[in-house]
């Protein structure tokens, strides 16, 4: 006859066994991640051609051309009101695999994350800090999600904390699990940014990403911790009843935190994104909204984009949010002029003048 004491012992033994198995799995995953990091050469990052660069805006020779990991983004079509900024290419790819993601155009559709060995990244930052004399923002979320590897990113941001001039910009779609290292020890040289879409859109084309509500909660937590926290609502899709969906999203965001900046954008269909998305049998129904071609790929019709931006500006203004802290990304000069919004040619109007300092 099995006694209560025997059952208790069996439960405790099963719990110990389960903890041992879980520990071994974590250790194996860590070893595998370390192997991946060790065997990726930084030359691989250097060879990547950014999918969202097409033509030189103008002949340009910076004082320092960067290195394999810290590189200048300075190629945009002349009719796009976007400026230069510095990329921190610590990794590329993304596990969230959103249907519309432009990263499909970087390596022929392969989205699996790959990392540069941390020693190379830190060494590249040392060189950048020495070469770039004026305060600069380094964008760590351009070729990857900035928080897809918190253990590695924790080491990178510690490098930024060793100086007080330059800052790192972390753009992400991850939720609360991936921000704990930021909350455990607040940093002064880190800017956090969340890409958040309406739940109806996320359910269609961001199925592997944490739900928008969780992203808002993560942004709220780092904002409370004292970080400069920004929100990116991009791409805004004109799905059925889109005004209601995005009004609810704005209400939820603004009731949870006061973002330091809000960045808006509408869908952009680069030919490589569409080509490799189709080859991978990705849900490409998001392309149904395109009506015209611009210097930055296919876009919604001009009138529809203008309506979307005016809707957001009106709602944000009514909510008391400073419109000087709102910007639109990868848009044409014509659109900025139509909206009557000020912009600076050759400067990243989303990240600010400190996004680029030669």
Burial 316-351 (b: 16+ CB within 10 A, else e): beeeebeeeebbbbbbbeebbebbebebeeebbbbb
User: Is residue 255 pLDDT above 90, yes or no?
Assistant: yes
Closest to 353 (Cα-Cα) out of 96, 84, 112: 84
Closest to 300 (Cα-Cα) out of 310, 313, 290: 290
Distances (CA, A) of 83 to 44, 184, 217, 258, 347: 25, 34, 31, 26, 4
Partnered with residue 193 across adjacent β-strands are 171, 230
Same domain, 251 and 154: yes
Same domain, 23 and 151: no
Q: How many domains does the chain have?
A: 2
Same domain, 21 and 104: no
Assess contact for 121 and 198: CB atoms under 8 A. no
Q: Tell me what the mean pLDDT of segment 147-160 comes to.
A: 97
What pLDDT score was predicted for residue 227?
98
Closest to 79 (Cα-Cα) out of 330, 275, 351: 330
Same domain, 35 and 171: no
The residue count for the chain: 358
Q: Which domain holds residue 3?
A: 1-39
77, with CB counted inside 10 A (0-12, 13-18, 19+), is: middle
Same domain, 4 and 129: no
Q: What is the pTM of this model?
A: 0.84
What pLDDT score was predicted for residue 65?
80
Q: Tell me what the mean pLDDT of segment 70-94 comes to.
A: 85
Q: How far apart are CA 171 and CA 142, in angstroms?
A: 8
The three-class DSSP label of residue 353 is: helix
Assess contact for 166 and 355: CB atoms under 8 A. no
Same domain, 286 and 306: yes
Same domain, 216 and 120: yes
Same domain, 67 and 203: yes
317-352 per-position pLDDT tens digit: 999 999 999 999 989 999 999 999 988 877 788 877
Same domain, 62 and 24: no
Q: Tell me what the mean pLDDT of segment 262-285 comes to.
A: 92
Same domain, 54 and 27: no
Q: How far apart are CA 223 and CA 230, in angstroms?
A: 9
141-151 per-position pLDDT tens digit: 999 999 999 99
Q: What CATH number has the domain bearing residue 164? A: 3.80.30.30
User: Is residue 358 pLDDT above 70, yes or no?
Assistant: no
Same domain, 59 and 181: yes
191-238 per-position pLDDT tens digit: 999 999 999 999 999 999 999 999 999 999 999 999 999 999 999 999
What pLDDT score was predicted for residue 106?
74
Same domain, 145 and 2: no
Q: How far apart are CA 106 and CA 17, in angstroms?
A: 44
């Amino acid at each position: 006859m099995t006694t209560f004491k025997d059952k208790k012992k069996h439960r405790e033994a099963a719990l110990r066994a389960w903890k041992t198995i879980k520990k071994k799995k974590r250790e194996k995953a860590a070893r595998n991640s370390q192997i991946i990091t060790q065997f990726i050469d930084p030359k691989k990052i250097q060879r990547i051609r950014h999918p969202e660069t097409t033509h030189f805006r103008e002949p340009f020779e910076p004082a320092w051309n960067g290195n394999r990991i810290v590189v200048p983004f300075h190629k945009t079509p002349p009719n796009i009101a976007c400026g230069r900024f510095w990329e921190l290419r610590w990794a590329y790819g993304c596990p969230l695999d959103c249907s519309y993601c432009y990263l499909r155009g970087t390596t022929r559709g392969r989205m699996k994350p790959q990392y540069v060995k941390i020693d190379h990244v830190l060494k590249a930052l040392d060189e950048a800090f020495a070469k770039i004399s004026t305060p600069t923002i380094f964008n760590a979320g351009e070729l990857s999600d900035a928080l897809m590897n918190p253990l590695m990113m924790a080491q990178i941001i510690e490098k930024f904390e060793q100086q007080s001039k330059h800052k790192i910009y972390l753009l992400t779609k991850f939720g609360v699990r991936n921000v704990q290292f930021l909350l455990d020890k607040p940093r002064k040289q880190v800017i956090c940014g969340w890409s958040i879409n309406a739940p109806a859109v996320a359910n269609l084309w961001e199925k592997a990403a944490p739900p928008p509500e969780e992203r808002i909660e993560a942004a709220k937590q780092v904002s409370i911790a004292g970080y400069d926290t920004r929100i990116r609502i991009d791409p805004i899709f004109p799905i059925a009843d889109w005004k209601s969906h995005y009004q609810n999203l704005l209400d939820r965001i603004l009731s949870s935190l006061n973002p330091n900046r809000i960045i808006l954008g509408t869908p952009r269909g680069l030919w490589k994104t569409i080509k490799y998305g189709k080859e991978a049998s990705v849900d490409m129904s998001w392309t149904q909204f395109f009506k015209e071609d611009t210097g930055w790929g296919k876009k919604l019709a001009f009138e529809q984009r203008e309506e979307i931006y005016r809707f957001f500006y009106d709602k944000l203004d009514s909510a008391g949010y400073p419109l000087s802290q709102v910007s639109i990304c990868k848009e044409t000069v014509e659109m900025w002029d139509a909206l009557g919004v000020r912009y600076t040619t050759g400067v990243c109007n989303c990240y600010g003048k400190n996004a680029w300092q030669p």
